[in-house]
Chains A and B, each alone.
Chain A
């Protein structure tokens, strides 16, 4: 009997560039490119700029779904008519790692579950997400957060490196359409490919063996019970309140909205821009009261929101273990270290967290 699978294809590595070229001809292509010694997601005009073996980009791909600064409306002060020239465009985001795919799924829940935002939905409907497998560096802890593999996230295609080829999983009808359109680049799956694919899972897990990983079991409860822990103070002492951690986070969504009148005061732009819970004015209310007046309170709030708030609101942890906040922090504050410190003796007794943590965490 012939071995046959419809849900996946194989893309020989030699065809990758033709695949990218093909994608670029279908819609604007966004992919990781090198900037200095770091990588960023950027629209590519020349596919030779695309970097395949990057570890993490400075900013997550969310900037192509919700721009960091956006004009919500323009209104005239004469008749208060609100208008918008917002238009979503078709786009393909290529080379998204598993953690960022999970990050986008979290944003999906936030923007679309209750009071759906029509703009986000429109952008999201017109975006194709193509993921790619990756190997962790010292900041990654996606194995703890259960986001090391793309299952359970919203994506269209996912490429897994299996040596000479990419194993291409198909996650949606949109993804399947792309495969059909570029079908001459792909070949059918053979039994051997499937074996290699399964082995790649273990390979990634093994790469975490010597890394420090936080144990996130019962983390919501732990954060609530350790709310007054001196660890917050110790860690926050180094914090600069610069907001880098939230700006580079793939799941942070807070924004501030201001009305900016033009010089004549005839039209006003309602501008939304990303803000950070690490800024003092974030919790300022009318009358001048700060609900989070201290750096410690703000520092702790980020952990609290990610690990207690998100599970309550959207039933998923708000951290995907991408390691951006730790990698970019100018004060070298590490999420992993803070959580290990918080667990204290419990962590030491439990031995290596990696062995205990299962993947596919669901709450």
Chain B
């Protein structure tokens, strides 16, 4: 027998990591067509007080009768007592979830995944690039940074969506834009209505905003989340502008079913998105096959 194997068996039985905790929906907000933001609070108050996570991590949410889904947390761990999930209605389980109302009870386990390397990011500039629903996990990072603003240098937020209708957290982002301590640049794929015009800094893609960022690349950490197709172009543009590959982090999603590296569904190359990700350095996107 090997030492490592002997150790594995000589352990007391751990707490069941598959057992979820009950949480009540305290608020539901319509953000955009088919996009809702749910606010939850754990029924167990002592758990609610200590429950902690890192921006970029996700939870496994049990939608009663439908099943479990992995959802990124969109609230910041700096604010305790509740957490928020933004969910797009896209399949069977999310359809059931969208029918739930405040007061309904769900079950949640987690948090899972590695999250953004916020500890390493401290003391540096941070460039946050969100595309579409990718804003959700990055909202967690934005508020984490703003609530601990003195630990970070310059912060930029680039956000691109289809049109104004699909912009998430509209009011919140408007207020962010007025702040001095974070620079926000927004783009829309198509600018047609007056609202679009009022919102967008440019009409076009996120890649066109990257050269507008006035940061010293070697002093900057970049966090990207968006549709996988965008990563290739955003990655290329970032490298072209001098951002070091090792300081660019992207968030990748797969169909996690267990969240703890046991079910195998979320394999990206040799890594598991649930335990080795979902935040990967850009370097990995080159090396892991079928990454994007």
Contact = CB atoms under 8 A, between A and B. Distances in A.
A255 B263 contact: yes
Contacts of B253: 285
B90 interface: yes
B255 A284 contact: yes
Contact of A259 (B15, B65, B262, B267): B65
B191 to A, nearest CB: 26
Contacts of A109: 4-5, 8
B270 A312 contact: yes
A112 B255 contact: no
A77 B63 CA distance: 10
A54 interface: no
Contacts of A122: 13
Interface string A294-310: 00010001001100110
Given A75-B107, A117-B262, A253-B264, A105 B14 contact: no
B242 interface: no
Interface in A122-162: 122, 124-125, 152-155
Nearest to A120: B262
Contacts of A277: 264, 267
Interface string B1-23: 11011101101011111111010
A301 B267 CA distance: 10
B64 A305 contact: no
Interface residues of A, number: 62
Contact of A80 (B11, B13, B22): B22
B237 interface: no
Which range contains the number of B residues in contact with the other chain?
35 or more
A172 interface: yes
A115 B270 contact: no
B264 A304 contact: no
Given A255-B264, A259-B68, A304-B270, A82 B8 contact: no
A116 B270 contact: no
Contacts of A56: none
Contact of A115 (B11, B65, B262): B262
A248 interface: no
A261 B93 CA distance: 14
Interface in A261-302: 261, 265, 268, 270, 275, 277, 282-287, 291-292, 297, 301
B17 A115 contact: yes
B263 A256 contact: yes
Contacts of B64: 75, 77, 80, 268
A182 B94 CA distance: 58
Interface in B256-292: 257-258, 260-265, 267, 269-272, 275, 289-290
B105 A80 contact: yes
Contacts of B271: 312
A257 B269 contact: no
B254 interface: yes
Ranked nearest first, the 8 interchain pairs of A and B with the lowest CB-CB distance are: A254-B264, A115-B260, A312-B270, A259-B67, A112-B8, A309-B270, A118-B13, A286-B91
25 contacts: A75-B107, A80-B62, A80-B64, A80-B107, A114-B275, A121-B13, A152-B2, A153-B5, A154-B5, A154-B8, A255-B263, A268-B64, A277-B264, A283-B254, A283-B255, A285-B253, A286-B90, A291-B290, A304-B269, A305-B270, A308-B269, A308-B270, A311-B270, A312-B271, A313-B270
Interface of B: 1-2, 4-6, 8-9, 11, 13-20, 22, 62, 64-69, 90-91, 94, 105-107, 253-255, 257-258, 260-265, 267, 269-272, 275, 289-290
Given A82-B19, A108-B8, 6 more contacts: A75-B64, A115-B17, A121-B14, A155-B1, A275-B265, A286-B69
